[in-house]
Amino acid sequence: MTNTVKHGGSALRHQTSDGPNGIRLRRVTTAAAIYQQLHAAIVSLALKPGISLQEKRIAEEFGVSRTPVREALLRLAEVGLVEIFPQSGTFVSRIPLSAIPEAVVIRKSLERTTVERAAQVATAEDIAQLDSIIARQRAHASLGEASHFYEQDEAFHEAISAIAGYPGIWTLVKTVKLQIDRARRLTLPVSGRMTTVTEEHEAILDAIAAHDADRASAAMMHHLGAVIPDVEALRQHHPGYFA
């Protein structure tokens, strides 16, 4: 069974199950599991930038002591998702606007390598896989399902890395683009943005299918660079979310 718990007006989820004698057993019991759930909630903006995170309340919500919660929050601070102020408390970090251009440059460098290699080695089966992902994106875009669309967006880029034979690059990209992801969660609901992203993915796929590495690289660079002007516009609409 999935229970929803509230923190700062946003939803966190933890799992419960029936144990011996009908006793409710909570599955979220470790710092790692709490970290993963808080991480996902922050990146998805279920936990908004700037809100307070209280150790005691989170511990109560997950049915654990404060020790694993504290460990999870320290890990989140290390990756820049929360800020801990000894005299004031712990808060979801605001999105650091100054860090996004550098993250985009690093991501471009990494994904240029994967998309060029994918264009060189992609099989018909690989191309069909990417086409299926894009088809799902179109469906989610038509229904305005930003969260599901985002999942397929991730799947598209991950698949390109796998096709290239460099799955480890995608693991690195996920770390680099953490703050970009938070900003992009704000861009996707903007009217027409999901359609635009889908079209950009189609251009990348067309180049891969044609085994044109240069065109695939150019299409990927255009796609990844689009987030910067989007973020500049978003700052005007959500000033409290950015630092």
* 83 and 111 together in one domain: no
Question: How far, in Å, CA of 156 to CA of 131, rounded?
Answer: 9
pLDDT confidence of residue 45: 94
Q: Do residues 150 and 64 both lie within one domain?
A: no
Same domain, 215 and 127: yes
Percent of the chain with pLDDT over 90: 75
* pLDDT at residue number 235: 83
Q: Where are the alpha helices (DSSP H) in 13-145?
A: 31-43, 55-62, 66-78, 100-121, 124-142
Instruction: Give the residue with greater pLDDT, 123 vs 17.
Output: 123
Last residue of a domain, one of 65, 92, 119: 92
Domain region containing 31: 2-92
Q: Are residues 83 and 102 in the same domain?
A: no
Output the pLDDT for position 22: 32
Q: Which position has the token pair 């799955």?
A: 167
Of 73, 92, 111, the domain-final residue: 92
Q: For residue 112, what is the domain's CATH number?
A: 1.20.120.530
Domain count, the chain: 2
45 and 161 in a single domain? The answer is: no
Task: Mark whether 41 and 113 lie in a shared domain.
Answer: no
If asked whether residues 101 and 24 sit together in one domain, one would say no
**Residue 232: is its pLDDT beyond 60?**
yes
Quick check: 159 pLDDT over 80?
yes
* Domain boundary residue, one of 92, 122, 152: 92
Alpha carbons 224 and 87: distance in angstroms, whole number: 39
Q: Are 114 and 216 in a shared domain?
A: yes
**Has residue 6 got a pLDDT over 70?**
no
Q: Are residues 177 and 65 in the same domain?
A: no
Which CATH number fits the domain that encloses residue 70? Answer: 1.10.10.10
Rounded to an integer, what distance in angstroms lies between the CA atom of residue 177 and that of residue 231? Answer: 14
pLDDT at position 1 is 39
Same structural domain, 138 and 121: yes
DSSP string over 181-239 = HHHHHHHTTSTTHHHHHHHHHHHHHHHHHTT-HHHHHHHHHHHHHTHHHHHHHHHHH-G
236 and 116 within one domain: yes
Residue 85 and residue 116 in one domain? no
Collect contacts of 57-64 with beta carbons under 8 A, ≥24 apart: 57/7, 58/7, 58/12, 58/34, 61/5, 61/6, 61/7, 61/12, 61/14, 62/5, 62/12, 62/14, 62/26, 62/28, 62/29, 62/34, 63/14, 63/26, 63/28, 63/29, 64/26, 64/28, 64/29, 64/34
Query: Residue 148's pLDDT band (boundaries 50, 70, 90)?
Result: very high
Q: Residues 156, 130: contact at Cβ < 8 Å?
A: yes
